[in-house]
Amino acid sequence: MQVDGQRFLADLHKLRSFGASGVGKGVVRPAYSEADMEARTWLKGRMEEAGLRVETDAMGNLFGLAEGPSLLLGSHSDSQPEGGWLDGALGVIAALEVARCADMPISVISFQDEEGRFGVTTGSAVWSGQLDLEAADLLLDHNGVALAEARRVVNPTGEVDPAQFTGFIEMHIEQGPVLDTTGERVGVVSDIVGIRDMKITFEGQQNHAGTTPMHLRRDAFQAVSEFNHALAERFKNVVTPATVWTIGHLSLHPNASSIVPGKAVFSMQWRDGDADRLVRMEQIIRALAQEIAQARGMEVSFGPMLGLEPVHMDARLRRALETSAESLASGAWRVMPSGALHDATNVSRLMPVAMLFVPSIGGISHAFEEDTDEEHLVLGLEVLAGAVAALHG
């Protein structure tokens, strides 16, 4: 199969123009934003030009469908609130290029809200049955907008039956430092870590920042600060060097310099490849938050917990990627786990899945600076195409 690296790069740069941040190659294209919906309209046209039949489901997942049973390729085209040009986009545009060139049926997907404006990989979670649409509709973004309201901008054409797909391969940037550090050019994913994510709220007493003595304060931010510090200590005997946890969003009420904050809501997210460890971490998180609230005479509450279990990649699809990687990047590729989450996790409930990585310069992603050498982007596309051809042959 002869893919066209220049056409693929041109499409990738065109997709970047939707929501271009003006800072480096960054994009601001969160799920259901104007830029996201415009990008999807453009993608729909590209899918149709490739001879695919386009369907958009109720969530806004965009499918370009081949006739009959087909292999599904793709990823997502929404971005983080401050995102890079390749996270998700690479897998979608690589899929499009392979679908244009393959002499076997290839379908293309751009999932909606992989970046979790409303949760965690929301579009593929709903499509795979991991999450009910009715339950998903109640999820709120950080501004209090419900998914049900946000997805009104979607014009659904119909639901897509997963039974028509024989498997799913997602190409993606690594988003971490491994390949860039070792100088290897391709990664074949062995498994994807699991994740838990929930909101925690501390409520104390809003008060005057000048007159309230320190020992009488019930300051919600001080509770978060103590929690964050103590958590690392409590985790010490439970986590491994591969375990990660993040407080990435914090909102203080009323968020003013001269007011002791009465309320703090923050995101608590943790990830690991071992499902049991995720459970033990949850127990520690809940117990510690309750302990701190009690000691400070405050209330604590926990939002709905979203989670995905760790998953293994399919042996047959993975072998096809490994063989293709060895033939195109002999000795310069590795098998590796994914510390980032992907739609492939949800899709693995429905069919065999596998993933392919290319390096991220400096290991940076979820930031405007995210980038990959174009030579590596094209090599990844060729490895994908080689694997697809071998699976068919």
Residues that bind ligand GLV in the complex, under the rule CB under 6 A: 115, 340-341
Signed CA dihedral, 28, 32, 37, 43: sign only: positive
The one-letter amino acid code at 164 reads: Q
Q: In angstroms, what is the minimal distance from the CB of 366 to ligand GLV? A: 7
In sequence order, what are the residues at sequence separation of 6 or more whose Cβ sits closer than 8 angstroms to the Cβ of residue 147? 113, 118, 122, 136, 137, 138, 139, 140, 141
Q: Which does 11 bind (CB under 5 to 8 A by kind): ligand GLV, Mn ion, none?
A: none
Q: Count other C-beta atoms under 10 Å from residue 223's C-beta.
A: 23
Instruction: Name the residue nearer to Mn ion (CB basis): 88 or 176.
Output: 88
Q: In angstroms, what is the minimal distance from the CB of 46 to Mn ion? A: 19
Q: Which does 341 bind (CB under 5 to 8 A by kind): Mn ion, ligand GLV, none?
A: ligand GLV
Instruction: Name the residue nearer to ligand GLV (CB basis): 93 or 220.
Output: 93
Q: In angstroms, what is the minimal distance from the CB of 346 to ligand GLV? A: 12
Q: Which does 386 bind (CB under 5 to 8 A by kind): ligand GLV, Mn ion, none?
A: none
Instruction: Name the residue nearer to ligand GLV (CB basis): 139 or 388.
Output: 139
Task: Transcribe 233-285 into DSSP letters.
Answer: HHHTTT--TT-EEE---EEEES--TTEE-SEEEEEEEEEES-HHHHHHHHHHH
* Backbone dihedral angles phi then psi of residue 164, each to the nearest 5 degrees: -80, -10
Q: In angstroms, what is the minimal distance from the CB of 123 to ligand GLV? A: 12
In sequence order, what are the residues at sequence separation of 6 or more whose Cβ sits closer than 8 angstroms to the Cβ of residue 104? 70, 71, 388, 389, 392
Residues contributing to the site for Mn ion (CB under 5 A) = 87-88
Q: Which does 113 bind (CB under 5 to 8 A by kind): Mn ion, ligand GLV, none?
A: none
Instruction: Name the residue nearer to ligand GLV (CB basis): 21 or 365.
Output: 365
Q: In angstroms, what is the minimal distance from the CB of 78 to ligand GLV? A: 10
Instruction: Name the residue nearer to ligand GLV (CB basis): 231 or 340.
Output: 340
Angle at 42 between CA 36 and CA 48, to 5 degrees: 135
